[in-house]
Amino acid sequence: MKFTVQKDHLVKAVQDVMRAVSSRTTIPILTGIKLVVTNEGLTLTGSDSDISIESYLPTIVDDQQLVDVKQPGSIVLNARYFSDIVKKLPADFVELESDSHYVTTIRAGKTEFSLNGFDAEEYPLLPQIEEHETISISADLLKFMIRQTVFAVSTSETRPILTGVNWKIENGELTCIATDSHRLALRQAKIDNNALTNEFKASVVIPGKSLNELSKILDDNNEKVDIVLTEHQALFKTKHILFFTRLLEGNYPDTSKLIPSESKTELTVMTKEFLQAIDRASLLAREGRNNVVHLETKGNTLVNISSYSPEIGKVVDEIACEDIKGEELKISFSAKYVMDALKAIESPEIYIQFTGAMRPFLIRTVNDSRTLQLILPVRTY
């Protein structure tokens, strides 16, 4: 194997595939990155067997030569050393050359590294996915949908299925749902179903960790991401990256019954002001009382946000609301859960629907039913 590659492109590709590499793996070769160079280009692969990422650099892009192949071949190099090395190389072009003992020389400027490599034949093969059903979403919308739901997955392994996000496709729409059984986040969007009939249905559960990593790899632009869902794997494809993730096995609970269809108290409030008041109240609620703050309506245009800790002190904040409809209300909730939900919503105003102090309440974007955050209150009164 012998080739020259533009350093900046190599650094970016290594960074991308590194996201799948874990230092704690039971399969030693997975601490490495696989490099395969053909006359068409260079492919890098990283994997922790749950997530696998493949990044492809073609020899020529837009009349610019990224890779100059002298001899095709393949090698596996220690991911941590290789990524540290390429970042710190002094020149714009890097030459890589492997000998028959897998020793790989990395040359740039006046610097020469020799790294002991491994036989690429020993590297596990990526999942084979037959591409029968492909849906497409723009990268920025996909990132946004992930950000609006993934924070609500469970971090406990008591019910492993809840550590993933349920993706449902039906009637040309994608619905993402996450819940840790104390709160629920839901986001819907139309999909570009050029290749898809409206009859296509699917329901899979994607690990939260995989979605977080995917989100970091995707650029913030409206380039199309193709998504293939199979029984055990999901594949996300951009121009130069393939992102594979294992799916979680088991049935995701039917969450539709959790969402109240009626409400007893409704209010509209400025998101930022509401978030900051809860943030302040939570300062005194952090310890002992499990981060619980209280909300109380005061007439038709005010709510109080308060918190009390016998040792430290107390806080009361008064927030102006648009016309509060329905019953008076005193309710207590986790400041963290409500702040997480408000941060995910990204709308200047929010609309909250309560169904009494002991029932879940809904936070929605004003005039948009595609985003929904549900939170279970805490019994204190």
358 near its own copies (CB under 8 A) = no
Decide whether 115 or 129 has the Cβ nearer to its own copies: 115
CA 231 to chain centroid, in Å, comes to: 20
102 near its own copies (CB under 8 A) = no
Instruction: Choose the stretch contacting its own copies; rule: CB under 8 A; options: 40-48, 57-65, 159-167, 310-318.
Output: 310-318
300 near its own copies (CB under 8 A) = no
Decide whether 10 or 228 has the Cβ nearer to its own copies: 10
176 near its own copies (CB under 8 A) = no
Instruction: Tell the smallest beta-carbon distance from residue 116 to its own copies (Å).
Output: 5
Q: Measuring CA to CA, which residue among 274, 275, 309 is closest to residue 291?
A: 309
For the beta carbon of residue 13, count every other beta carbon within 10 angstroms.
Answer: 26
311 near its own copies (CB under 8 A) = yes
299 near its own copies (CB under 8 A) = no
CA distance 294 to 305: 6
Taking residues 57 to 96 in sequence order and writing x for each that binds its own copies by CB under 8 A, - otherwise, the string is ---------------------x--x--xx--xxx------
Instruction: Choose the stretch contacting its own copies; rule: CB under 8 A; options: 174-182, 223-231, 305-313, 358-366.
Output: 305-313
Decide whether 206 or 338 has the Cβ nearer to its own copies: 338
Instruction: Tell the smallest beta-carbon distance from residue 114 to its own copies (Å).
Output: 5
CA distance 125 to 141: 31
Q: Which amino acid is at 77?
A: L
In our burial notation (b when 16+ CB lie closer than 10 A, e otherwise), range 39-67 reads eebbbbbbbbeebbbbbbbebeeeeeebb
Instruction: Tell the smallest beta-carbon distance from residue 335 to its own copies (Å).
Output: 12
Decide whether 83 or 175 has the Cβ nearer to its own copies: 83
Instruction: Choose the stretch contacting its own copies; rule: CB under 8 A; options: 51-59, 195-203, 315-323, 371-379.
Output: 315-323
List the structure tokens of 213: 């990593």
Size of the chain, expressed as the number of residues it contains: 381
Member of 24, 110, 132, 257 binding its own copies (CB under 8 A): 110
Instruction: Tell the smallest beta-carbon distance from residue 313 to its own copies (Å).
Output: 4
Instruction: Tell the smallest beta-carbon distance from residue 191 to its own copies (Å).
Output: 41
Taking residues 267 to 296 in sequence order and writing x for each that binds its own copies by CB under 8 A, - otherwise, the string is ---------xx-xx--xx------------
99 near its own copies (CB under 8 A) = no
Positions touching its own copies (CB under 8 A) are 78, 81, 84-85, 88-90, 103, 110-116, 276-277, 279-280, 283-284, 311-319
